[in-house]
Amino acid sequence: MGVPARAYLSIGEVLGKLRSDFPDVTISKIRFLEAEGLIEPQRTPSGYRKFTSIDLDRLRYVLFAQRDQYLPLKVIKENLDAIDRGLQPATTSGAPAAPRLATIDGGLTPSAFVEQGDLKLSRDELISSSGVTEAQLIELESYGLVAMKGRFYDADALAVAKVVAEMAGFGIESRHLRAFKTAADREVGLVEQVITPLLRQKNTESKARAEEVQRELASLSVRLHAALVRTGLHRSK
């Protein structure tokens, strides 16, 4: 039996139904999730998308899993495939939310690489919040590990400063960390090399895809780094 004509929703109507729970969702995001195979809306003869209630439920699941459980798209897709086959997904909606910086195999998940633009700290606030000293902060800035954005320090600066303060407890000084910055810059360069063709396409769907790919690759890069360090430590025993 076919679906009645008005049982279908346009992409704009789907967006309207999602906005109350997910205010940041956009049409470009929905199109990107479709391109990744997470939803498969039907098409009218003229090419317009037709969404069913099942498509809407899948979108809610995907957005919830990304926002509240910090799952990468690969895991979300595997969970959806499991649900489609009548199996229990690895992570369900009833599971407790992961920490803000969720991890997989010791590495940060893609959601940890979403830009956080709300935090603005003065110099004194950064020092008191992170535990670094004024002298350490001066060193971090001289080595390019921490920098102000405008007149303030952001969440990334705070994260770096906190880690440095903890490592200082083991006798590791800021000057020892320049190799980390060099390695990170190389990894960023590799990610940018991959997403540059998407950014050149100059449309909203390509931009959304580039942002998702950037986060996924950043997460994989950190996981690979952690695995290599773990391998090296085991080899030295």
Backbone angles phi, psi at 120, to 5 degrees: -135, 115
Domain assignments of the chain as residue spans, ordered by start: 5-98, 123-177
Could you give the percent of the chain with pLDDT greater than 70? 82
pLDDT at 104: 42
- The average pLDDT across 26-49 equals 92
Contact (Cβ atoms closer than 8 angstroms) between residue 63 and residue 18: yes
pLDDT at 124 over 60: yes
At 147, list the tokens: 């920098």
What is the rounded average pLDDT for all residues in the chain?
Answer: 82
Look up the pTM and report it: 0.53
pLDDT at 227: 86
Q: Which CATH class is domain 5-98?
A: mainly alpha
pLDDT in tens, 130-174: 899 999 999 999 999 999 988 888 888 888 999 999 899 889 988
d(CA 108, CA 222): 7
The dihedral built from the CA positions of residue 86, 87, 92 and 95, taken in this order, carries a sign that is: positive
Q: What per-residue string of b and e applies to 128-147 under the rule 16 or more CB within 10 Å gives b?
A: eebebeeebbebbeeeebbe
pLDDT in tens, 69-113: 878 888 898 888 877 766 566 644 443 333 333 344 445 555 555
pLDDT at 118: 63
pLDDT in tens, 163-220: 999 899 889 988 889 888 998 999 999 999 999 998 888 788 888 888 888 888 888 8
